[in-house]
Amino acid sequence: MRRNIKIKRILIIFAVISGMVLRPECRGLSLNDAFFIGEEPDSAAIGRGLAFTGVIENPSAPYWNPAGLATLKINKIGISANIFARTDSDEELLKQSYPLGGRQINFLSICGPEVGIFWRPLSSRSENTEVIENGAAVNQHIEAKINETGITIAVTQSDRTDFGMNINFLNGMAAYSIKGGSTPDAVISDGYGWGLDWGLIYKITAGINAGFSAINLPAKMYWENFDNKTLPSLYRAGFDMRLGQLMSLGLDYENGFYDEAVRGGRDVLHMGIEHYLSRSFILRCGIFGNGFDDKYRTAYTGGIGYVKENFRLDIAYKNYYYADTDAGLVNRISISGELPF
């Protein structure tokens, strides 16, 4: 009997402590768009200014345009990762403000003709802010890791039109804490969600494709102790023009419903070019932004690729300013590859 009373007392104490830590008023917290955008994969796409919506037969198609798998002829594995990231400002900015903290695998796919599966981390980052509570300054810290796993289905609608879609599943964990003031608090929450992506490719003529894709239309994340979140949507439309075995040109327009601070603004134009130095080596360069006359709103890219039959290895460099400030110049290097199986 005494032992049962002790156990009950321990459970009551534990419940009280849990109630203090995970209080109902912690509902109302919400993660901003930066935790759900992720990073653009594939160094071939990055090297040509992220103008990749009209590209077909590529294992990164689930991200850029799901319809691109409709014409994939063989099974392929695709992987993409950041290998270097540096900013002229505080290095902690990379960990706190960028989706994956600077260096990490950002895409992995296994694709075949008309079907594929992929994994993409959306965030592994933290965010510190100072807020005023009851007239006093307090430090607020949010940290989250969120991943997306998807299934891609693509079909050929006609001789000129391909259609594709992703069915996405999301899972993650988020932690919130506040220090200072009169109400210190802490919350840890599990989350899950779903989303749909859409893609369309229209073959205008031999070597010229027009593409359209929509990401997170719709998509939602559900949290145990945070507010549910409608994920930011992103739209792209563009062209891919291949001039024989000499070069290819890409032009994309991007817009959507998301916080402008996440991607440096909406209404973004992407332009890129690939030049085939030989059958095996490709040289790339690109530019994108929503104000080419403003260096703070313009990014420059470049890269090189090696192709041998169905094997491909690409390296890309991206240079841009973070948060429209001179102190936030960022240099990033990424690598990607695809391998048949």
pLDDT at 24 > cutoff 70: no
Closest CA to 223 of 77, 70, 28: 28
pLDDT band at 261 (very low <50, low <70, confident <90, very high): low
139 found inside a domain: yes
Q: How far apart (Å, rounded) are the C-alpha atoms in residues 149 and 110?
A: 12
What percent of the chain has a predicted confidence (pLDDT) above 90?
57
Q: The CATH number of the domain where 79 resides is what?
A: 2.40.160.60
Whole-structure pTM value: 0.85
Q: How far apart (Å, rounded) are the C-alpha atoms in residues 99 and 84?
A: 14
Q: How far apart (Å, rounded) are the C-alpha atoms in residues 100 and 126?
A: 10
pLDDT band at 262 (very low <50, low <70, confident <90, very high): low
CB atoms within 10 A of CB 158: 9
Quick one: average pLDDT of 221-249?
A: 92
Quick one: average pLDDT of 142-149?
A: 92
pLDDT at 17 > cutoff 70: no
Average pLDDT, the chain: 84
Q: How far apart (Å, rounded) are the C-alpha atoms in residues 231 and 83?
A: 28
27 found inside a domain: no
Between 76 and 34, name the one with better pLDDT: 76
pLDDT at 103 (0 to 100): 65
Task: Tell which phi-psi region holds residue 7, choosing left (phi > 0), alpha (psi between -120 and 50) or beta.
Answer: alpha
What is the per-residue pLDDT across 146-168, written as a single tens digit (0 to 9) for each? Answer: 999 999 999 999 999 999 999 99
pLDDT-wise least confident of 10-24, 71-85, 298-312: 10-24
190 found inside a domain: yes
- How big is the chain, counted in residues? 341
Between 188 and 132, name the one with better pLDDT: 188
Contact 151, 166 (CB under 8 A): yes
**Which residues form the domain of 302?**
34-340
Quick one: average pLDDT of 282-288?
A: 96
185 found inside a domain: yes
pLDDT band at 19 (very low <50, low <70, confident <90, very high): very low
Quick one: average pLDDT of 305-324?
A: 88
5 found inside a domain: no
Closest CA to 53 of 63, 44, 43: 63
What is the per-residue pLDDT across 183-226, written as a single tens digit (0 to 9) for each? Answer: 557 888 999 999 999 999 999 998 999 999 999 999 999 999 88
21 found inside a domain: no
Start-to-end CA span in the chain (Å)? 65
Contact 277, 245 (CB under 8 A): no
pLDDT at 180 (0 to 100): 64
Quick one: average pLDDT of 124-144?
A: 76
Number of domains in the chain: 1
253 found inside a domain: yes
pLDDT at 8 > cutoff 70: no
pLDDT at 10 > cutoff 70: no
What is the per-residue pLDDT across 170-183, written as a single tens digit (0 to 9) for each? Answer: 999 998 887 765 55
pLDDT at 251 > cutoff 90: yes
pLDDT band at 122 (very low <50, low <70, confident <90, very high): very high
15 found inside a domain: no
pLDDT at 1 (0 to 100): 47
CB atoms within 10 A of CB 49: 26
pLDDT band at 294 (very low <50, low <70, confident <90, very high): confident
Quick one: average pLDDT of 36-47?
A: 93
